[in-house]
Amino acid sequence: MNYCDVWIRGIKGIFSWQSKENINIGARVRVKLRGKLRTGIILKVSKNKPEFKTQDILEVWDEEFIPSAYIEIAREVAEENFSSLEKVLSLTIPEKFFSTKNPEKRNNSYALQIVPENIRGEKQKQAVEIIQKNQGIISEEELRKDISLVTIKGLIEKGIITEKKGKITSIFSAQQKTRPSFTLTVEQQKVVEEIRKSKKPVLLFGVTGSGKTEIYKKLAAEVSEDGQVLFLVPEIALTPQLIAELYSVFGDILAVWHSKLSEGEKVQEWSRIQSGEARILIGARSAVMIPLVNPKLVILDEEHEWTFKNEFAPRFQTHDIVEKIVSRFNAKLVLGTATPRLESFHKCEIGEWHRVDLPNRVHEVQLPEIEIIDLSNEAKKGNFSPISDSLEQELREILKQKKQAMIFLNKRGFAGSTMCKVCGHTFECPNCTSNMKMHERFGDQKFICHVCGHLENFVVTCPECEAENFQFKGWGTQALEKELKERFPGIKVFRADADSVSGKQDFEKLMDKFHEGQADVLLGTQMIAKGLDFDNVELVGVILADVGLNLPDFRSEERVFQLLTQVSGRAGRRKKRGRIVVQTFRPEEKIFQFVRHHDSEGFLQWQSELRKKSNMPPFSAMAKITFSDVKKEVAFKEAKKFFNFIKDNFKDGCYLAPAFFPRTHNKYHFHVFIREENKEKLIKFLKQIEIPENSKVDINPASLL
């Protein structure tokens, strides 16, 4: 007899059932729990009879719903991140798979094969027209609204349409695109060869505009002939150009996974992947645990992006999971970036990964020229606006030549802070230790907390002294938009930030319009920093490069460098050399030397030395254990008790600190940091002590704040 642990989503705890037949870990089964039919997934199979009585498994729905290798990986991820296996699995498995009906048995779709000439009768004609209007594919549900099953079967028999298992997501039409041949440069071709040969994970270290995407496409095309490809990007919504490009090459065999898919769409994409119909899965970090049948290549694009760390339990780093996947399935791993994480750079230095460089842009396009502007000089000249004289000149030139510019400011809203000029009153969020920022939203003026999203109406008079005289400090994208319009009459500006763009489609539309030349300037937050490629953009302005530089986090310079490199990579990607104007109050900071010379290598070496000296990751591993409570004393007491216990019994070098925003979402937070030589030792140490239940454990946190 086999005794199986079955996990049923939505039911607390794991229960056991029995089966005479051999049964796989990862199978999807039907069982009866407290008299009710349930659907669950087998997590463990054992020959040892439990002490309690077990019932029979009623039916096996999918023998290999999740390959056992993926269950093992999920188990490791849970262990290493102090979370549970169910939580890790819940990340991706659509809830519908746990319903008592088998969702896979529904939702077929029909695709148009040819534009047919031998259609008979009005009904068939009508059906074909409907499918054509849907770009060649339609779900069964949609088509059946107007067309009978008899008509559909007739069209299938004639070969005019085909029936497909699982619907293709509505974003794309499903027509198989013709496969273009790849024209790689000699340099790119060499890189492809080197990646093919490498037995280790490959860090593809290539400057912006060096054509990393061409290399991914080439590798994916090869691998997808007989295996599957997992293609991970930092954020699906912000990479419309890449997805469109992949879709134009791969068409039907591409599956897309993102958080906005409906449950039904998730089930369909999942099924297409499992059936092998989809060979390439593109998604953000939540797609990493979607079980592929035969993964042969994993691509992590823009590997330095911090969105690859899951900030909620289970707090995993995507890099760690893909390494597990490739080693179990003997697949290739390629991580691409122009500015590697220190962790990844370090792995290459110690020989764990193989580094391949692409130091030049394609078609001999030069990297843009970068000018660093000292904003304190501007202030001395009496220019207190966010636009320096240099940037103004460059912008005038761009407008004259009918080119386009992108302007980057990583602060939303109108102003950084608002203060009453009479009594000094400031507007603090009631839930957080953070100033609320003034925004204009749909014509209304609002105060918004950037930490928790709390929203209040803007007041005309000071609540303390009733004066009507406010001082606004700092610039946000909205203030900048106004300034640009005042200073350059007739200029057309698009603004892309969380206030003006509400979703993926909004963003895509705006980017398309900018691409078509409907605006002179695209102004935005980090939303516009990555992955975008516009032929006509020859100038990028960075309004305030200091944002984020003075944070008490050993990674603050790394992040700013990555962001500035990404932003400046948006200019001059075609024929002409682009220009970048970077404004800062602190031009003397060493980081700007590296920025000016596009010197990622130098920057990484410099940071490596600093980290090594201070024994910070990647030269050590770190855990951040956070205690939170509505009462400050309670949070502090808990944190202090734990901190003392570690310090007195085990090690020095741990420390206790209030969070950077001491109070957010109505709670106070204190962190205890513990360091060890490496991750394995750190986890082992944490497993042997007792970590209080009410704390949050974050291994190698992305942020110390």
- For residue 431, state whether it binds Zn ion (rule: CB under 5 A): yes
Pick 451 or 519: Cβ nearer Zn ion: 451
- For residue 423, state whether it binds Zn ion (rule: CB under 5 A): yes
Measured CA to CA, the distance from residue 222 to residue 172 in angstroms comes to: 23
- For residue 1, state whether it binds Zn ion (rule: CB under 5 A): no
- For residue 419, state whether it binds Zn ion (rule: CB under 5 A): no
Out of 128, 429, 484, 646, name the contact with Zn ion by CB under 5 A. 429
Pair 204, 336: CB distance under 8 Å: yes
Interacting span for Zn ion (CB under 5 A) from 175-183, 270-278, 347-355, 412-420: 412-420
CB of 425 to Zn ion, least distance (A): 4
- For residue 420, state whether it binds Zn ion (rule: CB under 5 A): yes
Count CB atoms within 10 A of the CB of residue 606.
17
CB of 449 to Zn ion, least distance (A): 3
- For residue 498, state whether it binds Zn ion (rule: CB under 5 A): no
Interacting span for Zn ion (CB under 5 A) from 71-79, 138-146, 466-474, 527-535: 466-474
Pair 662, 628: CB distance under 8 Å: no
* HEC-encoded secondary structure of 496-544: ECCCCCCCHHHHHHHHHHHHCCCCCEEEECHHHCCCCCCCCEEEEEECC
Measured CA to CA, the distance from residue 694 to residue 625 in angstroms comes to: 10
Pick 108 or 431: Cβ nearer Zn ion: 431
CB of 468 to Zn ion, least distance (A): 9
- For residue 163, state whether it binds Zn ion (rule: CB under 5 A): no
CB of 454 to Zn ion, least distance (A): 4
Measured CA to CA, the distance from residue 94 to residue 107 in angstroms comes to: 15
Out of 432, 529, 623, 654, name the contact with Zn ion by CB under 5 A. 432
Measured CA to CA, the distance from residue 295 to residue 325 in angstroms comes to: 8
Pair 211, 183: CB distance under 8 Å: no
Burial 1-34 (b: 16+ CB within 10 A, else e): eebbbbbbbebeeebbbbbeeebbbbbbbbbeee
Interacting span for Zn ion (CB under 5 A) from 34-42, 256-264, 430-438, 510-518: 430-438
CB of 453 to Zn ion, least distance (A): 7
Interacting span for Zn ion (CB under 5 A) from 318-326, 458-466, 537-545, 566-574: 458-466
CB of 423 to Zn ion, least distance (A): 3
- For residue 441, state whether it binds Zn ion (rule: CB under 5 A): no
Pair 293, 133: CB distance under 8 Å: no
- Location of structure tokens 């809830």: 95
* Ramachandran angles phi, psi of 274, nearest 5°: -65, -35
Interacting span for Zn ion (CB under 5 A) from 441-449, 565-573, 652-660, 696-704: 441-449
Of the candidates 618, 246, 212, 581, the one whose C-alpha atom is nearest the C-alpha of residue 407 is 581
Interacting span for Zn ion (CB under 5 A) from 51-59, 165-173, 266-274, 418-426: 418-426
Contacts of residue 642, Cβ cutoff 8 Å, sequence gap at least 6: 625, 627, 672, 691, 692, 695
- What is the enclosing helix (H) or strand (E) of 194? helix 186-197
Specify the amino acid at residue 463: P
- Location of structure tokens 């999740």: 66
Of the candidates 631, 616, 632, the one whose C-alpha atom is nearest the C-alpha of residue 675 is 616
Of the candidates 583, 584, 531, 589, the one whose C-alpha atom is nearest the C-alpha of residue 557 is 589
Specify the amino acid at residue 380: K
Token couple for 380 = 């001395």
Site map (CB under 5 A) of Zn ion, residues 60-99, x = contact? ----------------------------------------
Measured CA distances, 304 to 179, 343, 567, 688, 703 (Å): 31, 9, 14, 32, 14
- For residue 545, state whether it binds Zn ion (rule: CB under 5 A): no
**Binders of Zn ion among 24-63, rule CB under 5 A?**
none
Pair 371, 390: CB distance under 8 Å: yes
- For residue 465, state whether it binds Zn ion (rule: CB under 5 A): yes
- For residue 454, state whether it binds Zn ion (rule: CB under 5 A): yes
Interacting span for Zn ion (CB under 5 A) from 264-272, 342-350, 447-455, 577-585: 447-455
User: What DSSP string runs through 317-383?
Assistant: BHHHHHHHHHHHHT-EEEEEESS--HHHHHHHHTTSSEEEEE-S-GGGPPPPEEEEEEHHHHHHTT-
- For residue 451, state whether it binds Zn ion (rule: CB under 5 A): yes
Interacting span for Zn ion (CB under 5 A) from 190-198, 216-224, 317-325, 428-436: 428-436
Pair 670, 658: CB distance under 8 Å: yes
- For residue 425, state whether it binds Zn ion (rule: CB under 5 A): yes
Interacting span for Zn ion (CB under 5 A) from 464-472, 612-620, 621-629, 647-655: 464-472
Interacting span for Zn ion (CB under 5 A) from 160-168, 224-232, 419-427, 641-649: 419-427
Pair 439, 489: CB distance under 8 Å: no
- For residue 660, state whether it binds Zn ion (rule: CB under 5 A): no
CB of 434 to Zn ion, least distance (A): 6
Interacting span for Zn ion (CB under 5 A) from 270-278, 415-423, 492-500, 645-653: 415-423
- For residue 452, state whether it binds Zn ion (rule: CB under 5 A): yes
CB of 506 to Zn ion, least distance (A): 25
- For residue 464, state whether it binds Zn ion (rule: CB under 5 A): yes
- For residue 158, state whether it binds Zn ion (rule: CB under 5 A): no
Out of 462, 560, 563, 623, name the contact with Zn ion by CB under 5 A. 462
Residues binding Zn ion: what is the number (CB under 5 A)? 15
Strand arrangement, sheet containing 15-19: 55-56, 15-19, 2-7, 36-46, 28-33, 59-62
CB of 309 to Zn ion, least distance (A): 23
Burial 468-498 (b: 16+ CB within 10 A, else e): eebebebbbbbbbbeebeeebeebebbbbbb
CB of 438 to Zn ion, least distance (A): 15
Out of 278, 449, 595, 656, name the contact with Zn ion by CB under 5 A. 449
Pick 8 or 420: Cβ nearer Zn ion: 420
Pick 244 or 423: Cβ nearer Zn ion: 423
Pick 37 or 455: Cβ nearer Zn ion: 455
Pick 451 or 493: Cβ nearer Zn ion: 451
Strand arrangement, sheet containing 137-139: 137-139, 109-112, 161-164
- Please give the residue ranges that form the binding site for Zn ion (CB under 5 A): 420, 422-423, 425, 429, 431-432, 449, 451-452, 454, 462, 464-465, 467
